[in-house]
Structure 1
Amino acid sequence: MKHNHLRKKIVNKYEIPLLLSEKERLISELDKSNSFKKISIFILVIITSLFLFIAFYFFKKNKKNKKRFNDLMLGFDSKKKLSNNKNTDLIEITTTELSEELVKDVLNKLLIFEKSNKFIKNDYTLNSLAKELKTNSTYLSKIINSSKQVNFSNYLNKIRIEYAIEKLTTDKTIRNYTVQAIAEDVGFNKAQSFSTAFQKQTGISITYFIKQINNKPTEN
Structure 2
Amino acid sequence: MKRTVICNIPMKRDIANSVYTSEDSTLPVCEVSVKYPVNAVLGKILSEGDQVKVLLLVKKDHNDYYVANTQAFIDELNQINNDINTNLEYVTIETDFDEDKIVHDKLMGSLVDAIDTESHLIVDITFGPKDLPLVVFSALQFAEKFLDCQIDNIIYGQGFFNEKNEVIKTKLCDMSPLYYLNSVTNMITCREPDKARKMLKNLLSF
Higher Rg: 1
TM-score of Structure 1 vs Structure 2, range by shorter chain: under 0.3
Bigger proportion of residues as strand: 2
TM-score by length of 1: 0.24
More helix by share: 1
More relative contact order, 1 or 2 (CA 8 Å, 6+ apart): 2
